[in-house]
A and B are shown apart, each in its own frame.
Chain A
Amino acid sequence: MRGDVSEIKGLKGEHLRVRYDPHQPFVIDGETMRAPHGRISALIGPNGSGKSTLLKALARQLPCELGNIVLDGRDIASYPSFELARKLGILFQERRAPADLTVEELLRHGRYPHRRLFESFQPEDDAAVESALRMAGIENLRHALLGQLSGGQKQLAWIAMAVAQSPHYLLLDEPTTFLDIAHQFDVMDLLVRLNRELGMTVVLVVHDLNLAARYADYIFALSAGKLVAAGAPEKVLNEDLLRSVFEVEARIVRDDVRGAPFCVPVKRAKAAKEPAQARSLEGETFSARGERLIRFSARTSSAG
């Protein structure tokens, strides 16, 4: 498949080891993952499994002690920061904005990496802001102050800011957490539109497994800094995984709206004698067309 576009394009982390403090164990421990190009991928896992850390590392927002990240065939470390920001946007959970900023002003900040020091706002900057407002369906909120918005509207405004940045890759850390169901739909539908209409590769960390199953093309499951499963939702989401990774007994059914797997938690599973990640998991996942999506290995010992 040499020379195939899908081999050059894409976001791939190889043998990543990340930690916040040199005296602490690694939060991400030697993992390799490749976010399928032009698709929506979801990172799932229990609290503290390293989902957000992996996401930030992939966006060069955290230094990796070991391993390298390849973005469109180039080592991510070699990108000047503006060039990286034009290619890849990431939306954090923790952020703040002055309450007196209007939605439009927030979106205009998204054009920062496209402008030089004293360069004024160009027509293409305006066009990008307009199209992001339209995409997110918040044109009517253009002049609203951020302090007046509901949590869901605020989230849409922030995603729209990242869209105005016009990246090819959009990474999001728990974009639906704390939102009501209607706004969860708004956010996920927006991500699908970005993916289908603009061809953005979307990677998101999400807690709601059913949301992940319904919207994501691929799911990566993390447990204690290890990638323990990866692939299409129907392959990854099964009762074993829920028991070993999430420590719940659950039944997987098919939702009869989209046919996606739907997990019905039953009760908390008894803590496994051996931690889930101690099982040796090694293998590769293939897409329906047979291309190799990910190769993962987990030869871990339990934490000690």
Chain B
Amino acid sequence: MPDDRVVITAVGPVTPVGVGRAELAAALAEGLEPVEIGQLNVEDYLASAKTYLDPNSAYALCSAALALKDARLTVNDDNAASVGVSFGTRLANVTTVESYLKMLREQGVKLASPLLFIHGYPNTSVSLSAIEFGIKGTSFNFNSGRFAGLQALIQAADELGSGGMSVMLAGAADTYTEVTRAAALGAPFGAAMTLALERLEGASARGAQPLAEVAGCGLVRSADDAASRALADAGIGASDIDWLLSDAADALDISGRAHLTELIKVLGDCGAATAMLGVALVALAVGEGKPPAGLGLARAPRNALVVSADDFGAAAIVLKKPTD
């Protein structure tokens, strides 16, 4: 019987509470105080300079680069077709779309910019990630809503579970413009979070250290239903969850039974990356066996539930220690 358990083996945070694993881990130990990232120098993260990148794509690419580095994984001709990437973004590359529309309005269609147009495609970040790192396996991009990040993670986990890929990068990114800031439920922060996912046996075989196991997933219309299904998928009950993290605006039925972290209150609204940042916080806390500072948890969680939802849909995952 093959061991089809899926684990998170690396994190690539480009977030208001830390860029890179070390910064995020330090923030987790010392307390989370979000601050705007601002413009990244992408050449510090990528192999070559770029002519143009939407801020969303820049964050996504740097995040993916950090995740690959953290995973100590090199994509080459031997493994390129078995490494995939799945990405989620609620707002996509709106900065570039707005720049394109401004040029169109001011200069007319004859001077429409092909560079801006192509970088405004919703799939630009996932495509650039595949191109930058030579990822030739499964490629997906979700724009479903706030939950698109967790949806990408679930798609990645399913892809690994079915044996289709050996490694998946699952990521999310969102950045805001003056127009889209109104979509934020809290302080709007640009952010990206990419995770490396592998089958446990594959991770063990290459000596990668699993941080947390993706034990159950739920993907449905409502947050409560998603949470229930993720718990059922993991084969555990709500009482087994000792840390609940949610970016949903509304309270969940299981709130009150587990220690709750309302992600947007703590981290600001990072769009689809909000819940993925929550997943990374759990992965680091579980993987390193330390409770996060300032969030009210007395000890490192054993089982955590991360819920992401808006009025477009919902997703939830259960994370646990991989050796359980």
> Are A and B genuine complex partners?
no
A residues bordering B, Cβ < 8 Å? none
